[in-house]
Amino acid sequence: MDEYVKNWEAVLNKLEMMVSAVSFDLWIKPLELLEFKNGSTLVLGASSTTAKNQILKNHADKLSECILDVFGEGVGYEILDQNEKQEYLKDTVVVEPAVEAREEHPNKGMFNSKYTFDNFVVGKSNQFVYAAARAVAEHPGQKFNPLFIYGGVGLGKTHLLHAIGNYIHEHMPDLKIMYATCEKFTNDYIESLRSNKENETIEFREKYRNLDVLMIDDIQFISNKTSTQEEFFHTFNELYQNNKQIIISSDRPPKEIATLEERLSSRFTCGLIQDIQSPDFETRVAILRKKSQQERYLIDDEVIEFIAEKVDTNIREMEGLLAKVYFFATLLGKKIAGIEEAKEALKETIEKKKEDLNPNIIIECVCDYFNISKADIVGKKKSKEIVEPRMIAIYLISELIDIPLISIGKYFGGRDHTTIIHARDKITDQVKNNIRMANTVKDIENMFSGYVNK
Ligand code: ADP
Ligand code: MG
């Protein structure tokens, strides 16, 4: 099969995870790849004018994004409706044969081939979760079931799920695996209800229950969706009772998923709940090196360290900066991206970061307001003069900064998340019920603008 045909399939697979199941089945999946014109334009035939318009109106950005991801820069697309297609085929001698229907190994293409165990850099922050994922991949249904992986954005959860999928697909091709984002699971379920046909529901159940391995990515989005939770609960039980492997990821531990039903939450605890932490500096450097090799970027080691210093949590963001530097250097015609190019390319991104409020700024403000030291506020002292400011700082961080509660503890000497939740809840309550506390918090918030960009 030609490379571009494989790539197009990869684009479809990506898109499938990004748009609703209805849109995908109705508009996108039927697209016919007519030609890869001049190696730069995918000519796509839509099944109708409506299909063409729907895609252009609602999915054009996502389509471009996936094409960019898979084909790289400089590749575009063109969509033809039926009439345009006739015209086009008349005028064009199509050299490449039209694509045969998507051939089916059910697992094929479900997993991103870059997300493997080999490409996953192991360090202190993720060694346990890596070992657990590996054990589950090697012995699905037998080791840790369910495996619940949680951690902040861009720390490798999806990568690990795909790594498990790729591994099982390669070594145990007969096993039926299903990877779905929570959103996809929800949409599939809602659709099966909406269609109001009994066989749709049966199909849904067939799809999610007749499996050896089920993975649901980003389960936190199930909160507030009562009927989906109910359905997931039954899916879970059915698979679990039959010793089928279940793997779940989330940006926070089960207990912190608001409105997650108790019975579902306690199901998760019967397996292994494992967190994935932000990588330390050495691991960040190793990840960036690996990424450069993989993408064949030529990048100075100094640049890698520079980026690893600037970004200390989100790996996805780090990879984005790496690509930015590389492309910037390429534009300048440099063979190897050096530190000068990196500073230039990342100037805005890094300056912008400075403007943003972050936990350290909040801690600094709170310390100044109460005239206490940073060592005390993050330390162990239990006197009222220190405890209250500490709780206020925790509260403000949880309110104003978009990080999971579990990550806040690390700014306070590694306090565990129950302490963090306690502090947050206590101050939340006081702000509501105590005018003095409400004013204190307001005063501190008013100080922030003088502290960012300092
Ligand atoms: P999450 O699902 O936790 O938000 P992803 O799995 O999407 O994060 O990871 C974000 C990016 O970082 C991906 O490109 C992934 O390959 C990369 N990444 C994360 N952790 C590692 C690691 N330990 N080694 C190599 N790449 C990693
Ligand atoms: Mg993810």
Q: Is the pLDDT of residue 412 over 60?
A: yes
Q: What is the mean pLDDT of residues 162-190?
A: 93
Q: Is 158 annotated as a binding residue?
A: yes
pLDDT given at position 345:
86
Q: What is the DSSP track for 81-101? A: -HHHHHHHHHH----SPPPPP
How far is the centre of ligand 2, averaged over its atoms, from the C-alpha of 331 (Å)?
Answer: 31
- The region of weakest confidence among 50-54, 237-241, 382-386, 447-451 is 447-451
Q: Is the pLDDT of residue 96 over 70?
A: no
For residue 114, which atom of ligand 1 is closest to its CA?
16
CA distance 62 to 69: 10
Q: Is the pLDDT of residue 2 over 70?
A: yes
Q: Which ligand is nearest to the CA of 278?
A: 1
Q: What is the mean pLDDT of residues 375-404?
A: 93
pLDDT of 288-346, one tens digit each? 999 999 888 889 899 999 999 888 778 988 998 998 898 888 888 888 888 988 988 88
- The region of weakest confidence among 143-147, 196-200, 368-372, 427-431 is 196-200
Q: What is the mean pLDDT of residues 407-433?
A: 92
How far is the centre of ligand 1, averaged over its atoms, from the C-alpha of 130 (Å)?
Answer: 12
Q: Is 157 annotated as a binding residue?
A: yes
Cα 384 to Cα 278, 366, 390, 438, distances in angstroms: 32, 15, 10, 18
How far is the centre of ligand 2, averaged over its atoms, from the C-alpha of 240 (Å)?
Answer: 23
Task: Return the residue whose CA atom lies nearest to atom 6 of ligand 1.
Answer: 156
Buried b (16+ CB within 10 A) or exposed e, 98-134: ebeeeeeeebebbbbeebbbebbbbbebbeebbebbb
Q: What angle do CA 19, 21, 25 make, to 5 degrees?
A: 105
Q: Is the pLDDT of residue 354 over 60?
A: no
Q: Is the pLDDT of residue 15 over 70?
A: yes
Q: For residue 147, list its beta bridge partners.
A: 247, 272
Confidence class for position 156, pLDDT limits 50, 70, 90: very high
Q: What is the mean pLDDT of residues 198-210?
A: 86
pTM over cut 0.75: no
Q: Is the pLDDT of residue 107 over 80?
A: no
Probe ligand 1: pick from 121, 125, 159, max atoms within 8 Å of CB? 159
Sheet harboring 41-45: ordered strands across?
32-37, 41-45, 76-80
Task: Return the residue whose CA atom lies nearest to atom 1 of ligand 1.
Answer: 154
For residue 119, which atom of ligand 1 is closest to its CA?
25
Cα-Cα end-to-end distance for the chain: 57
Q: Which ligand is nearest to the CA of 181?
A: 2
Task: Return the residue whose CA atom lies nearest to atom 25 of ligand 1.
Answer: 120
Displacement of CA 157 from its chain's centroid (Å) = 7
Q: Which ligand is nearest to the CA of 217?
A: 2
Q: What is the mean pLDDT of residues 162-181?
A: 94
Of residues 112 and 449, more confidently modeled:
112
**Helix, strand, or coil here: 76?**
strand
Q: Is the pLDDT of residue 355 over 90?
A: no
Probe ligand 1: pick from 119, 161, 280, 316, max atoms within 8 Å of CB? 316
Of residues 21 and 426, more confidently modeled:
426
Of residues 195 and 438, more confidently modeled:
438
Count of beta carbons in the 10 Å neighbourhood of residue 24: 19
Task: Return the residue whose CA atom lies nearest to atom 13 of ligand 1.
Answer: 316
Confidence class for position 108, pLDDT limits 50, 70, 90: low
CA distance 177 to 246: 10
Q: Is the pLDDT of residue 260 over 50?
A: yes
How far is the centre of ligand 1, averaged over its atoms, from the C-alpha of 119 (Å)?
Answer: 10
Q: What is the DSSP track for 85-150? A: HHHHHHH----SPPPPP----TTTTSS-TT--STTPPP-TTTHHHHHHHHHHHHSTTTSSSSEEEE
- The region of weakest confidence among 47-56, 215-224, 288-297 is 47-56
pLDDT given at position 248:
96
Of residues 228 and 49, more confidently modeled:
228
For residue 155, which atom of ligand 1 is closest to its CA?
3
Q: What is the mean pLDDT of residues 379-400?
A: 94
Confidence class for position 215, pLDDT limits 50, 70, 90: very high
pLDDT given at position 94:
47
Q: Is the pLDDT of residue 281 over 60?
A: yes
For residue 126, which atom of ligand 1 is closest to its CA?
23
Place of tokens 């050896």: 212
How far is the centre of ligand 2, averaged over its atoms, from the C-alpha of 207 (Å)?
Answer: 22
CA distance 377 to 366: 9
Q: What is the mean pLDDT of residues 84-107?
A: 61
Q: For residue 149, list its beta bridge partners.
A: 249, 274
How far is the centre of ligand 1, averaged over its atoms, from the C-alpha of 105 (Å)?
Answer: 26
Mean pLDDT (the chain) is 87
Q: What is the mean pLDDT of residues 205-232?
A: 90
Of residues 83 and 236, more confidently modeled:
236
Confidence class for position 102, pLDDT limits 50, 70, 90: very low
For residue 161, which atom of ligand 1 is closest to its CA?
6
Q: Which ligand is nearest to the CA of 283?
A: 1
Percent of the chain residues past pLDDT 90, beyond the cut: 46
CA distance 395 to 387: 12
Confidence class for position 452, pLDDT limits 50, 70, 90: low
How far is the centre of ligand 1, averaged over its atoms, from the C-alpha of 158 (Å)?
Answer: 7
Q: What is the mean pLDDT of residues 424-445?
A: 87
Percent of the chain residues past pLDDT 70, beyond the cut: 93
pLDDT given at position 453:
52
Q: Which residues contact 124 (CB under 8 A, 6 or more apart)?
A: 277, 280, 283
Probe ligand 1: pick from 14, 282, 315, 322, max atoms within 8 Å of CB? 315
Confidence class for position 257, pLDDT limits 50, 70, 90: confident
Protein residues with CB under 6 Å of any ligand 1 atom: 115, 119-121, 126, 153-159, 287, 290, 315-316, 319
- The region of weakest confidence among 242-251, 377-386, 398-407 is 398-407
For residue 276, which atom of ligand 1 is closest to its CA?
3
Task: Return the residue whose CA atom lies nearest to atom 4 of ligand 1.
Answer: 154
CA distance 212 to 242: 9
Of residues 189 and 18, more confidently modeled:
189
Of residues 72 and 198, more confidently modeled:
72
Q: Which ligand is nearest to the CA of 220?
A: 2
Task: Return the residue whose CA atom lies nearest to atom 18 of ligand 1.
Answer: 156
